[in-house]
Structure 1
Amino acid sequence: MVPSVTAAHSLLNADERAAIAEIEATTSILQLVTRLTGMRFAGIAKFTDLEWVVCSAYDPLEMGINAHDVLDLETTLCSEFCINPQALFIPQISQNGRFAVRPVVKQFEIESYAGAPIFLPDGRLFGALCALDSRAMLFDDPNLPETLSLFARLIGCIFFANLTTPDQ
């Protein structure tokens, strides 16, 4: 006999259920991002003052970027959100002198990038939602920047809900 969802639910405490929901929600969002952009990697990264920390990655391309990896923030394309917090699309990085020289581009052989900053509901910049590929991409959907930004906002709300405890 298969236990019911209600029985399984009662075996998990609230923190465990929240963690599972966060993982499932963010994984689904990352899969949707790859479908919408046509790119083969999507990830969520948190920023510290100096570091870019991978929270979650969907990597069927096997780029080698994994959850909990840490890079120097200034070497990443996502660091642009610290300067200009708007969605960023780079269809062919090798043709863009400003971005082609970034160490992360060479390290992971990145040719295209799509990203949006993740803000928490209280206005703090949390990190970035990004999609990467080793192929050049055309970003011809005029709704893509807004859609990616909406996903980033949803991720910010998910993380904020789990960062906030009743005694805060």
Structure 2
Amino acid sequence: MIDEPISPRDTDRDVRALRDIPRIAAILDEVCRITRMGFAAVARVTDERWVACQVADRIEFGLQPGDELVLKTTICNDIRASGKAVIIDHVGDEPNWRTHPIPMLYGFESYASFPITLEDGQFFGTLCAIDPEPRSLRSPELVSILERFAREIAGIVVVSRAGVLSA
């Protein structure tokens, strides 16, 4: 599916709609618990913006809902382009990542990010997590759980948009 341009107003609406949903907060807490990572977020990712919708921050990464990162400084931009998850257990052990500028910029050693794709095939954003310490993230069970959480969040987005549009 070809993504249509997304207006900043639509992105801001999505962020406002998702920032206080308790189930998303519970998912992010569970992501931190099961991965042992200190930061997890749902991000709205467009061809121009990366905006945090909701975060669980146990490592003082410093992002709050509504905060933005420069899109080109995120791996989520690559996930938007490919539609595939990126999992890094230990940046220092992986030749493709150990000298990559993004882990160096944000100071993480482990990273997991899964695309949030809506039922119509539209890419919404990512469920992502980072930590300054290496973590084991590639087990099939853990990957399956994180994929399921990303699908659940996609469903929440659809329901949320229906509520926002009818309001």
Q: TM-score, normalised by structure 2?
A: 0.79
1:57 is matched with 55
Query: Is the CA contact (8 Å cut-off) linking 2:20 and 2:54 kept in structure 1?
Result: no
After superposition, where does 1:15-164 map in structure 2 within 5 Å?
Answer: 23-139=21-137, 141-164=139-162
Q: RMSD of the TM alignment (CA)?
A: 2.4
Matched to 2:111, the amino acid is Y
Instruction: Choose 82-91 or 143-152, whichever is displaced more.
Output: 82-91
3-state SS of 1:39 partner: coil
**Sequence identity, in percent?**
34
For residues 100 and 23 of structure 1, the distance between their equivalents in structure 2, rounded to whole angstroms, comes to 36
Query: Is the CA contact (8 Å cut-off) linking 1:54 and 1:66 kept in structure 2?
Result: yes
Query: Is the CA contact (8 Å cut-off) linking 1:76 and 1:102 kept in structure 2?
Result: no
For residues 100 and 64 of structure 2, the distance between their equivalents in structure 1, rounded to whole angstroms, comes to 19
Residues 105, 140 of structure 1: alpha-carbon distance in 2 compared, 3 angstrom cutoff: closer
Shift of the alpha carbon at 1:36? 1.4
For residues 20 and 123 of structure 1, the distance between their equivalents in structure 2, rounded to whole angstroms, comes to 19
Instruction: Choose 91-100 or 128-137, whichever is displaced more.
Output: 91-100
Query: Is the CA contact (8 Å cut-off) linking 2:19 and 2:65 kept in structure 1?
Result: no
Residues 3-46 of structure 1 deviation map (CA, whole Å, 9 limit, x = unaligned): xxxxxxxxxxxxxxxx6996201000000111111111110100
Q: Give unpaired runs (5+ residues) of structure 1.
A: 1-18
Instruction: Choose 72-81 or 31-40, whichever is displaced more.
Output: 72-81
Query: Is the CA contact (8 Å cut-off) linking 2:45 and 2:125 kept in structure 1?
Result: yes
For residues 96 and 18 of structure 2, the distance between their equivalents in structure 1, rounded to whole angstroms, comes to 39
Q: Give unpaired runs (5+ residues) of structure 2.
A: 1-16
**How many pairs align?**
150
